Chains A and B, each alone.
Chain A
């Protein structure tokens, strides 16, 4: 069975660049190793180069510079149909003039499989996505979620080792999307195929992936497992892009033992982990997750203590969201779990807030 931790790269992007117009680089120096069996998600805002990277891997775009290796072999000059990569498209791209079964049989027939084999594999693939009865329907007669399943089944029916998915859940409504996330995740776990998944939806990326590559401006900003990505963002973009984030700007004043002291624009001094600063005297951005801020902290619980004024209190059922004015930032968000011992907090209250050094990361400006 495939092992995500396998050291040998199954897919490798080596210094890949892409330009459409010869003026701007859409993908700048992409280097990724994807081990066999991994579920890797390329996450980023639109125009960040993630889809272009996927298309280069599929063979629909050519790299302007650099090499893409599949199983140790450069595939720059291999035609898309010879790469043997399954792909799920944004709008499914199910052939409307064929039935579901014919759609699934298509990749098998072009591989000149015998009729019996084709029928068996098609049925197995349909059963896998729980659409065993729908073989004779046309794609247009299926719901969005069913079409999605057919698209996944079609990409897997010829048993490729690598499957690419280009925002496959973008057209589905929220509930269905979440359900499909689990289904795709489970199919991946069961079959052990390598999956490269493109999305701009971070919860999708965090739910499904072994590792997530956050794209911005044609570069990977951070490539890490979901936990690390959220807990330990390496730069301000990732911190801001993944999850909710409080951003405090200031200048590094002193550095010692991986901890830096930062003077905020408001003049307040904050101690933070030195993750990605340019040294003393340089500008920096502090990143702090809203749920890691304590209201009315007990003595000694937090190294950073300030007082904040509650500007807005929003009740969200499982937690309470408080927008506060802290250190001159009036968009400072605090999430308070809705536990029974919490006393009501009213708008306009001024109360002490605090957070620990470990939760506050000093990143690039």
Chain B
């Protein structure tokens, strides 16, 4: 098919352009299909293993079906209640039905447990009523209040109504160290009883400390690697990468052997008489242990991007600076360092994001004071089985990381990040 070209301009007439675009599209389609086939396995893998679980977690952090599922009639009846005074007879009847049916199906306990997270005493109120189910009779209001005085308490009803909604903010309220008063007002708990916010802060500043340490330790090493001849640099690079080939558990455990009270470092200090035998320093099972071990583990993630950036900075820049009269320090500070900022950025963001979600190492060597938020999420997943709270904490961590990345992107710009 030939295309007529307008004289002088080289631009095609509109209908010709249309046809050309169609031709171009057709000729590219096959390549596009082939390209998307190549990425399809990875896309599917990511959807199944990454997008779906995160979606599920987001859902769990607000999903609260227990009360509405296992006390369906009560929650339905409470929808029209004005919360000003005790509910009327119809609602009490619905509650009686739910308790009797829930007892038979052995599901009332779950609803009771969930209500108890919110207000202690709710569990014994419901389970106590359930045990005396034979005494329940019409008129239900009188009968129930007779069995358990709690049913005459307006606050308890408010809690049931609030949890009757299947979507809840209560996990987030919990995760922000806040509580809901029976009146439905949300406020921070006593600062002394704060758990999660404190842990978030600790996770952030310790991650920053670890990032800072890896920059301080990694920068000179990277510089050495980048300036040595290839042959020597390769040998040293293997030493840098060696930790990657060793199990994380092995590396963490060896730090225990190094740092514990009867460990190598303390033994040496005592042996040299620097500290007394009874004054051995506690360097593990606390924040120090976490920082030391994690700095070591994450160091390669700092060195590799730094090295690859430094490799691209020609030595002639430093020489030029010196020839122009700069002292070695000025030459480094004003000429070399600014050109390695992309490497520092890449390494820092990598190390920081990795460490903020770290879990195993703090769990093994962190003791009480070296725990990260990840450890508490794990505890709620495996220990307390409060998955909703774990999910809420996880979402907060995710938002935090995205937020930090966003700020970083505004300030430094991802264009300046260079990984290789």
Which residues of A come within 8 Å of B, CB atoms?
Answer: 58-60, 79-81, 83-87, 89-91, 93-97, 106-107, 110-111, 154-155, 158, 164
Contacts and interface: CB of A to CB of B under 8 A. Distances in A.
Contacts of B334: 106
A94 B320 CA distance: 8
Nearest to B313: A96
Interface residues of B, number: 19
B325 A111 contact: yes
A77 to B, nearest CB: 15
B338 A85 contact: no
25 contacts: A79-B328, A81-B325, A81-B328, A84-B325, A87-B320, A89-B316, A89-B319, A89-B320, A91-B316, A93-B314, A93-B317, A95-B335, A97-B339, A106-B321, A106-B324, A107-B325, A110-B324, A110-B325, A110-B326, A110-B330, A154-B324, A155-B323, A158-B324, A158-B325, A164-B323
Contact of B324 (A60, A97, A107): A107
A312 to B, nearest CB: 44
Contacts of A90: 316
Contacts of A80: 319, 322-323
A87 B323 CA distance: 6
Contacts of A85: 323
A148 B325 CA distance: 20
B318 to A, nearest CB: 9
Given A81-B324, A93-B314, 11 more contacts: A58-B323, A81-B331, A87-B323, A93-B316, A97-B339, A106-B326, A106-B334, A107-B324, A110-B324, A158-B324, A158-B325
Contacts of B330: 110
The 3 A-B residue pairs whose C-beta atoms are closest, nearest first, are A107-B324, A93-B320, A87-B323
Contacts of B137: none
B319 A93 contact: yes
Interface of B: 314, 316-317, 319-328, 330-331, 334-335, 338-339
A89 B319 CA distance: 9
Q: Is the interface of B mostly helix, strand, loop or mixed?
A: helix
Contacts of B331: 81
A91 B320 CA distance: 11
B312 to A, nearest CB: 11
A60 B327 contact: no
B345 to A, nearest CB: 14
A115 to B, nearest CB: 17
A91 B338 CA distance: 19
A59 B339 CA distance: 24
A94 B317 CA distance: 7
Contacts of B320: 87, 89, 93-95
Nearest to A102: B334
Contacts of A59: 322-323
Nearest to B317: A93
**Residue among A58, A84, A95, A164 having the largest count of chain B Cβ atoms under 10 Å:** A95
**Residue among B314, B321, B323 having the largest count of chain A Cβ atoms under 10 Å:** B323
A207 to B, nearest CB: 25
A60 B319 contact: yes
Contacts of A58: 319, 323
A221 B82 CA distance: 107
A132 to B, nearest CB: 21
B89 to A, nearest CB: 79
Given A95-B335, A96-B339, A86 B314 contact: no
Contacts of A87: 319-320, 323-324
A164 B316 CA distance: 14
B323 A81 contact: yes
Nearest to B327: A81
A59 B321 CA distance: 13
Contacts of B328: 79, 81
B335 A86 contact: no
Contacts of A164: 323
Contacts of B322: 59-60, 79-81
